[in-house]
Copies of this chain bind each other. A is one copy, B any other.
Amino acid sequence: MTSPLRIGIAGLGTVGAAVARIVVEQGEALASRCGRPLVLAAVSSRDHAKDRGVSLEGAVWFPDLVKLARSASIDVFVELIGGEGDPARAAVSAALGRALPVVTANKALLAHHGVELALMAEEQRVSLNFEGAVAGGIPIIKALREGLAANKLARVYGILNGTCNYILTTMEASGRKFADVLAEAQRLGYAEADPTFDIGGMDTAHKLALLAAVAFGNAPALDGIHVEGIARITPHDIVFAREFGFRIKLLGVATRSDGGIELRVHPAMVPLGTPLADVDGVYNAVVAEGDLVGKSVYEGRGAGAGPTASAVISDILDIARGQQLSTFGTPAVKLKRPVIVPMGDHLGPCYLRFTVIDRPGVIAVISRCLADQAISIESMLQRSRAPGEAVPVVFITHEAREAELAKALQAIVAAGVVTEEPCMIRMERF
């Protein structure tokens, strides 16, 4: 049998500790899978003494992860610290610079510095693997980079944030408001104390940037992504969506066309009966559309110690087997910044909810503003009546351009007929 693969793990949070435990406890099964023993050779963490439910005996402790990355005692550097900047970036660079393969679950690092790091890795002919960075335990990077490698992919999209999906699923099941459900999710540990990154859509955007890079062979283009979060979704929207045959999901959508690449993250109406509509709770799902394969769907747990550790270890096993692929599936020297199709050019039907004072003439004003932009209306719904009070009114448009929709909404707000910002949710026809 070949020499053991000596693993150095930086970061012993829940994922790091799970990876360490599996390497230590499932050694024989893993060796059988990759043809050589795996050894936990070194770790780096702030608090070495803390009990993590795994024996770290035999693993050298490095207080400084950059020193771990430079240590001669490891054959692969596993970065589970997170964060786009140092020390994660410095440590990963240090490892790659000395031709040490790297496994990371750090989506921010890859979304911001992916090309630079991929170039280093490929120059040194070592792997930089990041399966754990996107969609937890779903082997979606492997599927796109290897399994579907024969395809020209036209679109990749999905539910990429478990926190948002949990909140939306719970709002639908309970009829409760966003703020209530978020507070509960925080108590249960499904949402961070500062949830901005998740509920604002940035977490999904990081993951979408990486998925699109692998699917389309371009540099991750985080700043080209149109990003909206879920904070403005109300129980009204969820009920209306259901009536129209849809469910509301936070989606990341990347589409390739002749004009370039469209990248968007926002709440969307997904038709009932399609695979994404039934993805509940903390699950993630990704759909890839290829010229040969057609539509293929990948669903599983999007976060958590077990699923992410599963992804990280699969990356380690690939390295143990001697596999070395381009980080994003395409050689890093060929990764160009894509031409971004601006969101104003996006075409699609749309759900618009206005909060209006229930009095004659309001609907006429809104309808006029939409007509002025040549936006045609498929249906209109006002559920409750409360003369003189604020009520929600919903319009579903036919296919419309975002730029025109924005102008119409501006005009409606300027006309003084609404008491709150209008809520706009795009309707997908996947």
Say whether, besides A149-B313, A317-B150, A300 and B296 are in contact (CB < 8 Å): yes
Partner-binding segment picked from A25-33, A64-72, A343-351, A371-379:
A25-33
Q: State the number of copies, please.
A: 2
A295, B137: Cα distance in complex, Å: 9
Determine how close the nearest CB of chain B comes to the CB of A146; give it in whole angstroms: 6
A409, B427: Cα distance in complex, Å: 51
Contact of A300 among B22, B294, B311, B325 (CB under 8 A): B294
Residues 295-310 of A, flagged 1 when their CB comes within 8 A of B and 0 if not, give: 1111111000011011
Q: Which residues of B contact A334 (CB under 8 A)?
A: 32
Q: Which residues of B contact A296 (CB under 8 A)?
A: 137-138, 298-301
* Chain A positions near chain B (C-beta within 8 angstroms): 18, 22, 26, 29-30, 32-35, 131, 136-139, 142-143, 146-152, 217, 273, 275, 278, 285, 290-301, 306-307, 309-311, 313-314, 317-318, 321-326, 329-331, 334
- Majority SS of interface residues in chain A? mixed
Determine how close the nearest CB of chain B comes to the CB of A369; give it in whole angstroms: 39
Which residue of chain B has its CB nearest to the CB of A296?
B300
Contact of A293 among B35, B292, B310 (CB under 8 A): B310
Determine how close the nearest CB of chain B comes to the CB of A245; give it in whole angstroms: 14
Q: List 8 A-B contacts (CB under 8 A).
A: A32-B217, A33-B330, A139-B148, A278-B278, A296-B298, A296-B301, A321-B325, A323-B323
A295, B281: Cα distance in complex, Å: 13
A32 touches B331 (CB 8 A): yes
A139 touches B147 (CB 8 A): yes
A137 touches B294 (CB 8 A): yes
Say whether, besides A32-B334, A35-B331, A325-B321, A293 and B137 are in contact (CB < 8 Å): yes
B314 touches A149 (CB 8 A): yes
Determine how close the nearest CB of chain B comes to the CB of A88; give it in whole angstroms: 23
A290, B293: Cα distance in complex, Å: 26
Determine how close the nearest CB of chain B comes to the CB of A237; give it in whole angstroms: 22
B298 touches A298 (CB 8 A): yes
Shortest 3 CB-CB contacts between residues of A and residues of B? A139-B147, A296-B300, A150-B313
Q: Which residues of B contact A139 (CB under 8 A)?
A: 142-143, 146-148
Contact of A307 among B136, B294, B311, B326 (CB under 8 A): B294
Determine how close the nearest CB of chain B comes to the CB of A18; give it in whole angstroms: 8
Q: Which residues of B contact A147 (CB under 8 A)?
A: 131, 139, 142-143, 311, 314
B321 touches A306 (CB 8 A): no
Determine how close the nearest CB of chain B comes to the CB of A303; give it in whole angstroms: 11
A330, B295: Cα distance in complex, Å: 30
Q: Which residues of B contact A324 (CB under 8 A)?
A: 321
B297 touches A293 (CB 8 A): no
Q: Which residues of B contact A217 (CB under 8 A)?
A: 32
B314 touches A146 (CB 8 A): yes
A146, B309: Cα distance in complex, Å: 14
Q: From A149, A313, A330, name the one whose CB has the most chain B CB atoms within 10 angstroms.
A: A149
Which residue of chain B has its CB nearest to the CB of A34?
B149
Q: Which residues of B contact A33 (CB under 8 A)?
A: 149-150, 329-330
Determine how close the nearest CB of chain B comes to the CB of A419; give it in whole angstroms: 38
B314 touches A148 (CB 8 A): yes
A30 touches B307 (CB 8 A): no
Q: Which residues of B contact A34 (CB under 8 A)?
A: 149
Say whether, besides A149-B34, A299-B275, A299-B297, A291 and B317 are in contact (CB < 8 Å): no
